[in-house]
Amino acid sequence: MKIKTKLTYGIGILFAMIVLLGALSLGYINKLNNETQKIYTNNNYSLNYCRNMLLVLDNVHTSKSAFQVFMSNLQKQQKNLTEVNEKETTDRLTFHFEELKNKMNEQNLQKVRSDIYAIMNLNMASIYHKSELAKQTANNALLWIYMTFSTCVFFALAILFRFPHSIIKPIKELTGGIMEIANHNYDKRLNFEPTSEFGEVSTSFNKMAERLNEYRASTLSDIIANKKYIEAIVNSITEPIIGLNNEKEILFINDEALNILNLKRENVIKKSASELSLKNDLLRRLVRELVNPGEKKEPLKIYADNKESYFQANYIPIKIVETGETELHSIGDVILLKNITEFKELDTAKTTFLSTISHELKTPISAIMMSLQLLEDKRVGQLNEEQESLSQSIKDNSERLLNITGELLKVTQVETGKLQLMPKITKPIELIDYAIKATRMLAEKFGCHIEVEYPEKISKLFVDSEKIAWVLTNLLSNAIHYSKENSRIIIGAKQIDDVVELYVQDFGKGIDPRYHQSIFDRYFRVPGTKVQGSGLGLSISKDFIEAHDGTLTVESEVGKGSKFVIRFNVR
Ligand code: ADP
């Protein structure tokens, strides 16, 4: 039933009950009033007349006024004949009074008196009877009024309690249904009476839920299909690949990765990589490198399928723009392991080759240098000017060759892990002096002025002085080579708290910021560099410094010069 109809019925019934109650009360009050009025006019008047007649009866034959009173009351009584037998009794009284008027004696008097008493009794009996009737009416009235009032109260209470409930119930059900839909329970349906106001709402709601269900079913199958497709792609990648969310749970992993990590798919999907890594060294290293991106990432050496393989881990952060947002934010990472075994083998072969060649070249170059020294010895014979210039050229090139072989040997030492440090306590000035002495000839050749900046107090270093002196020499030699002739070069040291800095600053051509990283790579030379060189010096220098847990950095601006700074923590 519609709420409007319920409301109309409820209030209508209540109104009808109130009207009934009012009418009933009025009716009964009216009836009671009539009855009491009747008692008063019909009987009470008669009683009054009778009493007046009795009062004057004894004097009617002596007093004229008494007689008149009697007569007037008798006449009034004759007009007020309301009860059964009252007329006969009054007529009898009139007759006996006539007799008394004619003959005044005690017998006649007695007859009149008894007639008056008879009328009084008649009226008294009637009053009693009517009072009983009024009482009955009052009782009936009370009963009916009580009954109607109770029904009224019952209806009012029923409306009071039932009506808000009947309105709130469907609203509650509707709210609950909407909440269920919000919680993705699209199976929720509402069953309101079709004729009620909510009937239409429930039909629309059910239609919406059904559509959402269909939509979910279709998108779910799409998502599953897409997921399978992506899984197939991930599995078809020949390189090991692992996908993690921001909580470092494994979302996907291909067979290749499972194989090298020695894991089973069912044990890893949706599991925390950090927890799994407690029992898996390789995974632990991958997760550690992912969490600490600054760490130096060495290739992973893995024994799989009875052979030694090398993998380089690439960490790719995955960022997306969420629906309704404008900025990218991270949703996880992908770890891609690149199998570099082949490159590693080639690299090892190259290093071995370089090592052998540089080693083998050193002996003949030394022999050439020795022969040159003998050639320059005047005791062997005087060289003419042209021969002397040729011999100088052979000497310069042999020295360069010796330098290059020396650098190559150092590279192979670093790459094969054969770099051995022999640290001892060293004053920074000793290293600076060594570098200045080693490059004196070169500085003189280019007319460079080397200035030394050195504080009064500085901590000593615990380093392999030969290696650090070599680095400083290399930096100073670069500074001379890449500056104009006759320019200033500063070499110095300073201490800031626990950090000792050694630096070489020139005011030469400077380095484009694009190359500030690459100049420390093997064989890298800034494009357009005319000075001869191998591109190895800075990379070896960086390796030597980092082997001491120090850092080598560059500050440089094109046209203004460069400053290379070595930093050691002396705490
Ligand atoms: P090499 O000097 O043998 O080429 P390095 O590794 O010492 O190799 O240096 C790499 C490159 O960095 C050089 O080729 C040069 O282009 C650049 N470079 C190094 N030092 C300086 C410097 N002081 N000023 C300008 N460029 C420099």
- Summarize pLDDT for 319-335 with one digit per residue, the tens: 988 777 788 989 999 99
pLDDT digits 0-9 by tens, 287-323: 888 877 766 667 888 876 677 888 888 899 999 887 7
Query: Which H/E stretch holds residue 564?
Result: strand 561-569
One domain for residues 375 and 435: no
Which of 273, 266, 251 shows the shortest CA–CA distance to 318?
251
Q: How confident is the model at residue 164 (pLDDT cuts 50, 70, 90)?
A: confident
Q: Is 478 near ligand 1, meaning CB less than 6 Å away?
A: yes
Task: Kindly report the number of other CB atoms within 10 A of residue 200's CB atom.
Answer: 11
For residue 173, is it within any domain? no
Q: What is the domain range of residue 308? A: 237-339
For residue 58, is it within any domain? yes
Q: How confident is the model at residue 279 (pLDDT cuts 50, 70, 90)?
A: confident
Report the pLDDT value the prediction gives residue 457, as an integer from 0 to 100: 94
One domain for residues 12 and 50: yes
CB-count exposure of residue 179 (10 Å: 0-12, 13-18, 19+): exposed
pLDDT digits 0-9 by tens, 220-276: 888 888 888 988 888 888 889 999 999 999 999 998 899 888 889 888 999 999 899
Q: Is 516 near ligand 1, meaning CB less than 6 Å away?
A: no
One domain for residues 410 and 299: no
One domain for residues 120 and 34: yes
Q: Is 477 near ligand 1, meaning CB less than 6 Å away?
A: no
Of 147, 168, 189, the residue that ends a domain is 168
Taking the CA of residue 407 as reference, the ligand 1 atom at the shortest distance is 3
Report the pLDDT value the prediction gives residue 71, as an integer from 0 to 100: 93
Query: Which H/E stretch holds residue 161?
Result: helix 106-182
How far is the centre of ligand 1, averaged over its atoms, from the C-alpha of 553 (Å)?
13
Of 124, 152, 168, the residue that ends a domain is 168
Instruction: Report how far residue 333's alpha carbon sits from residue 497's, in angstroms, rounded to the nearest whole number.
Output: 39
Report the pLDDT value the prediction gives residue 527, as an integer from 0 to 100: 94
> How many domains does the chain contain in total?
4
Which of 385, 397, 240, 242 shows the shortest CA–CA distance to 305?
240
One domain for residues 388 and 486: no
Q: Higher model confidence: residue 236 or residue 451?
A: 451
For residue 344, is it within any domain? no
For residue 214, is it within any domain? no
For residue 182, is it within any domain? no
One domain for residues 326 and 433: no
One domain for residues 325 and 380: no
Mutate to test the pocket of ligand 1, among 407, 476, 487, 538 (most ligand atoms within 8 A of CB): 538
Which of 555, 546, 482, 551 shows the shortest CA–CA distance to 516?
555
For residue 204, is it within any domain? no
pLDDT digits 0-9 by tens, 20-62: 888 988 988 898 888 788 877 788 899 999 999 999 998 888 8
CATH at 287:
3.30.450.20
One domain for residues 513 and 540: yes
Residue pair 192/170 in contact (Cβ under 8 Å)? The answer is: yes
Task: Kindly report the number of other CB atoms within 10 A of residue 424's CB atom.
Answer: 11
Q: How confident is the model at residue 563 (pLDDT cuts 50, 70, 90)?
A: very high
For residue 538, is it within any domain? yes
- For residue 495, pLDDT over 80 is answered with yes
One domain for residues 564 and 441: yes
Distances (CA, A) of 126 to 86, 88, 172, 210, 529: 11, 16, 67, 83, 147
One domain for residues 19 and 138: yes
How far is the centre of ligand 1, averaged over its atoms, from the C-alpha of 462 (Å)?
27
Report the pLDDT value the prediction gives residue 295, as an integer from 0 to 100: 64
Taking the CA of residue 564 as reference, the ligand 1 atom at the shortest distance is 23
CATH at 535:
3.30.565.10
One domain for residues 397 and 434: no
Task: Kindly report the number of other CB atoms within 10 A of residue 323's CB atom.
Answer: 5
* Helices and strands, counts by H and E, the chain: 16, 12
Whether the pTM exceeds 0.85: the reply is no
- For residue 452, pLDDT over 80 is answered with yes
Which of 311, 223, 212 shows the shortest CA–CA distance to 259?
311
Q: How confident is the model at residue 16 (pLDDT cuts 50, 70, 90)?
A: confident
Instruction: Report how far residue 383's alpha carbon sits from residue 527's, in angstroms, rounded to the nearest whole number.
Output: 40
Q: Higher model confidence: residue 470 or residue 404?
A: 470
Name the residue type at position 228: K
What region, left, alpha or beta, does residue 494 occupy, with left being phi > 0 and alpha being psi -120 to 50 degrees? beta
Q: What angle is formed at CA 236 by the lines to CA 233 and CA 239, rounded to 5 degrees?
A: 110
Rounded percentage of the chain residues whose pLDDT exceeds 90: 41
Taking the CA of residue 524 as reference, the ligand 1 atom at the shortest distance is 10
Of 117, 138, 168, the residue that ends a domain is 168
One domain for residues 394 and 431: no
Report the pLDDT value the prediction gives residue 512, as an integer from 0 to 100: 96
Distances (CA, A) of 366 to 39, 360, 393, 394, 403: 162, 11, 15, 12, 12
